Structure 1
Amino acid sequence: MNNSYDLFPYQDIVNTYAGSVVYPPGGRYGPRIQNDIQLVFLHTGYMEIEIDGTLTSFEPGHVILLKPGHLEQFKFSETKETWHRWISIHYSRIAPEAYAYLDSLPLCLPISEEFNRLIDLIISSQHNNNVESGLQRSLGLAALNMYVGESSRFKQHASIHPSVDQAKTVMQSRFSENLSLAEVASAVGLSPEHLVRLFRQHERITPIKYLWNYRILRGIELLVHSGLSVSEISVRCGFQTSYHFARKIKESIGHTPSSIRSTAWEGNN
């Protein structure tokens, strides 16, 4: 057994489910015993996780690997909302060598656009598929293997990833502003041209495309989980007008803001 497909076989997956939550300032969660392999995507705010008595802090823009059998307690930003999403993959059994393999992986990685698209798909597909369905279980395995693959890629490029991470953190904390490429590059001490090259190499998109994708992602989250008007969400997420917001959403996922909200709210009734 020498790769993740052998160590974490599809047939041993019981279910896969994903979710999203926004914690208010000063939020807490736990303690709990982790029962699944869980990937936590931190989008805004701040998170501290105490795992078996060891405290680690995480900044936005990272996906965190949590492993079964550990005692966890969560503490969120004291000053701002913390938005995170998660994918939980529940296995009927995990072999000792698989546990050892999980321990060899990084505790967290930068969130790539591919990972964002995958969790979008898992969450949206839950509306029409049981968490134990073949599709959801397959998507859970895809998420786990994506983490493995991106761990390898991150290790290969660790020497220059911090600059990309810093730029992503700047954009995630200031996405409501009218940010320019020059401002982002200046904030991380790079020329705009150098920053574009790094993003193309590691994220396969430009910094400004990343920023618009993040605005869209945050806008969808507010449509689903808040009662804010479309106009207010547009302003909060850095769009010029509500029409601009609606057009970008439609181009990205093929649905209007009103249809996204109505579908999500109907699913919760």
Structure 2
Amino acid sequence: MIRKAPQELPQRIVFFLVPKFSLIAFTSAIEPLRLANREAGRKLYSWNLVSVDDQPVLSSCGIPISPDINLDELDNFHAAVICSGEDAHKIADRRIHSWLRRIERKGVDIGALCTGAHILAKAGLLDEYSCTIHWENLAGFLEDFPEIEVTPELFEIDRNRFTCAGGTASLDMMLNVISSQHGHELAGEVANQFMHDRIRDEHDQQRMSMPVRLGVRHPKLLAVIKLMEENLEEPLTRIQLAKDAGLSTRQLERLFRKYLSRSPARYYLELRLNKARLLLLQTNMSVIDVALACGFVSASHFSKCYRDFFGRTPRKERGLPGLPGEEEDI
């Protein structure tokens, strides 16, 4: 499929733009194709841009991109890529789903950039396939589609489905496709043009390593933070955290104060609240379900902690009116 050399050239790829698509993910996918053509000295790839209503589509940064062909005029293409970004979980356009199912029956390879896995999943096109999605959207996707195998990989290519985490992961996915179809040397030449010193494979991490991300290298502190991140739904006690890391509770407190300027309890709470915010913005879970998924025992306690940290209640985070008796946001 997408990893195999095409039977005919150029290989025609359709990029389907949806509102608020990620511009960097889109350009990082299409530019390697252009440079592959240039470096090869022949047209290996061609592409078209489409939208559901044939109108320009605003990217997440507000830059509009215009389609170059009517959706109904498309014919004889080899792959289609859903390009999305913010609020992909809210897109439920039956016209997109119908088009995707129609081309799937024709044997077209189907992929998605950034958060596009949400759209493919809603269309029923990821059943029995592995996929990936941007790390920020992973928790929400798991809640919405628990039956789908989603991984934290940089990108996933599973038979005739291909998905990537977005951002520059689009570049690495396309470089791997070029390498599989036309050789590693050509992919390397394209990467050099981007001053991309290494072609990452699908198993590379989406996020920076924890020491780089936090600016901390103390091994026991990092071990505790890892435990916290892995136990947000059922938080561990301070005693459990210290014991697992081979520390006393006093040593644990000192490490967090020294390197992160906050107590372990405060840091743990912030992790849980940040996860809660992602679930509120990316799923249709009720507030109480979000609270329970992030280790809070009641909606009222969750709402108070959330408001203290973010300056607004969970309901107002979603743009909903406050409940009777609920304090106004400051």
Give the TM-score band, short-chain normalised. Answer: 0.3 to 0.5
Higher relative contact order (CA 8 A, sep 6+): 1
**Structure with the higher fraction of residues in strand conformation:** 1
Q: Which has the larger radius of gyration?
A: 2
TM-score, reference length from structure 1: 0.46
